[in-house]
Amino acid sequence: MEDRMNTIQKLTLCNKKAILPLVLVLLFTLAATGCGDDGGGGGNVTVQGSQTVELPSATNQSQTLTITTDGSWQASCDAAWLTFAPQSGQAGTTTITLTTTTINQTKSLRSARLTISCGGTSKTVTVRQSADYALFLNSDITVGAEGGTLSDIAFVTNLSQQTLNLYVTQGIDEWIVSAKGSGTQTRAELEGRINTLRVLPNTDKTPRTGGIFLAMTNSKGDFMALDTLWIHQEGRNSNYTSTDYSADGKTVLLHEHTQGKGIKMVLMGDGFTDLDIASGHYDEVMGKAVDHLFSEQPISSLKDYFDVYQLTCVSPNDQFGGNYKTALGCVPDYQTTGIDIDEMLTIDRVRKVVGDDIDNTLAVVIVNTTTRNGVTMLFQEAGYRPAQFALALCALVGGEDSDTFRQVLTHEAIGHGFAKLGDEYVNSANGSATASDIASLREEHGYGWFLNIDAESDAAKTVWGGFVGLSGYENEQIGAYEGALTFFKGMYRPTQNSMMNQNESPFNAPSRRAIYNKVLKLATDKEPTFDEFIVFDAQHKPTVWDYSARQTRGDAQPTFSSCVRRRLMPAR
């Protein structure tokens, strides 16, 4: 018990309401010296004030004692639960700090004797630790990853309900909740019970631990923990298989358009089990994804043109490849850091949400892994005419809250999937663009694709030439920078860095125009003019640009394979 309670010395109170859940943060620990041996010197010892010191029953509680001697002195004590400092000194007046090292769980008042010796003179001070107590009757609890209820947590105490408080460690309220309200029912000298608690499923493979504290406050208002019950939850089994598919196929409209006709966007996840659905983790990831997708200009100012749907997909497993199975059939592409998916199955699921409007729909799949990156499938109709429909896949790179996930998701879904922008980085395996590559790019331009890439080295003659030297765009340094579309040479990009290059910077002006034009065309059937975009962009353009990630030619870039793949649109 003492070892377990010593842990509490490292915690401090941040809120003192006697309800569950509350939050604890780190508490200071006091360094103190153990009880010393008798010493010697010559002279007298005077103890100021009472020769009895009262200490609370909790650990790490302190009081001071002032002594005066006319010679060197030493002190000793006869109890292991008490420390003091200093344990010796010279003639004069000294303040000794007395500190408890353990909780008094004996249910009785206990005493220690502190003896101060100076030469042949000794004085003894009685130190008493009160018998206030609150003790859990349960041992530490271990819960499986699936979660469950805790209905028999009991304790005994001699404190009143007004004096006894209940606290929990920081973060425990995210996975342990009250099933029947909060609080305790206690009376002096009687047994108390904590209302039934519900432990949520642990969707992570990492075990987690939280503590519930029985505590009171001392006369100074300081938190004093009297006993702690630790609750451990096991991590999710990597071989877990879902059993509840009742939520599969559920569709929720997360955002409804208020302008234009409504551009359809369908979000779904792969590799999420029924535990992820039941715990709310799936909903949380999809909500974060929506926030990320509309985090960059100009799409953040055009959100009201979109209808955003969440489609729930329950996977049997949360692992990929081998014998594991997922709802959308995602598997790692071992030739790159990308992902493959069952396209026919996924498109059929999207059709069930948007019906015949799939042609202008953007489908986004969040893949429940952190070991992959992203890839976007661009489709062509029969006859190889490009289709607006796209399927963007993005792994949880760094977790749903990370900026890396936000950047990769934006690059794939908004950049490639929606606006049909090209990659502005290079792959060291690709040399110069061939005449065939350049001809293909020109054809793409005719469909309004890849308008941030050109084979023209003269910036003024590129498809973004209208921005070159334009007032208000000086900070973007728009020009023609060699190294784009994964080619070392022969392809050019508008800016040193951007969301379509290393992801750290915003969309550059040509990319913003492509996004703006695509939104207005799909939502209103109108093609904005260059001047109309300039007016819009003046009010919504990004204010921060960062070129620090890239100040050199394209050949200094890391090696990336293209994250765009071409597919033939399956027939209805």
Nearest-angstrom CA–CA distance, 199 and 181: 14
Note every long-range contact of 463-471, with CB atoms under 8 Å and residues 24 or more positions apart, other chains counting. Answer: 463/510, 464/494, 464/509, 464/510, 464/513, 466/530, 467/494, 467/509, 467/510, 470/534
Q: Answer yes or no: do 410 and 504 share one domain.
A: no
pLDDT tens for 429-461 read: 678 889 999 999 999 999 999 999 999 999 999
31 occurs within a structural domain: no
In the numeric block, the tokens 């001047």 are attached to 531
- State the first-to-last Cα distance of the chain, in angstroms, to the nearest integer: 68
Amino acid at site 52: T
Q: Answer yes or no: do 447 and 493 share one domain.
A: yes
269 occurs within a structural domain: yes
Task: Of 300, 384, 371, give the one whose Cα is nearest residue 338.
Answer: 371
pLDDT at 554: 33
- How many other CB atoms are found less than 10 A from the CB of residue 109? 13
Nearest-angstrom CA–CA distance, 153 and 93: 50
What range defines the domain where residue 512 resides?
420-563
Which one is predicted more confidently, 556 or 71? 71
Task: Map residue 217 onto helix, strand or coil.
Answer: strand
83 occurs within a structural domain: yes
Give the residue from 233, 259, 294 where a domain finishes: 233
Q: Answer yes or no: do 475 and 349 share one domain.
A: no
In the chain, the number of structural domains is 4
468 occurs within a structural domain: yes
Count of residues for the chain?
572
pLDDT tens for 220-267 read: 666 677 888 899 988 777 788 999 999 999 999 999 999 999 999 999
pLDDT at 564: 64
Q: Answer yes or no: do 257 and 108 share one domain.
A: no
Is residue 197 within 8 Å of 180, Cβ to Cβ? no
pLDDT level of residue 556 (50, 70, 90 thresholds): very low
Q: Answer yes or no: do 253 and 335 share one domain.
A: yes
Q: Answer yes or no: do 59 and 148 share one domain.
A: no
Q: Answer yes or no: do 364 and 389 share one domain.
A: yes
- Residue 386 vs residues 163, 378, 558: alpha-carbon distances, Å: 72, 8, 30
349 occurs within a structural domain: yes
Is residue 218 within 8 Å of 56, Cβ to Cβ? yes
Nearest-angstrom CA–CA distance, 269 and 314: 8
Q: Answer yes or no: do 60 and 118 share one domain.
A: yes
Edge-to-edge strands, sheet with 306-311: 251-255, 306-311, 263-270, 362-367, 386-395, 374-380, 564-568
572 occurs within a structural domain: no
Q: Which residues contact 403 (CB under 8 A, 6 or more apart)?
A: none
Q: What is the DSSP letter of 8?
A: G
Q: Is 177 left (phi over 0), alpha (psi -120 to 50) or beta?
A: beta
Which one is predicted more confidently, 472 or 134? 472
- How many other CB atoms are found less than 10 A from the CB of residue 149? 12
pLDDT tens for 111-127 read: 999 999 998 889 999 99
571 occurs within a structural domain: no
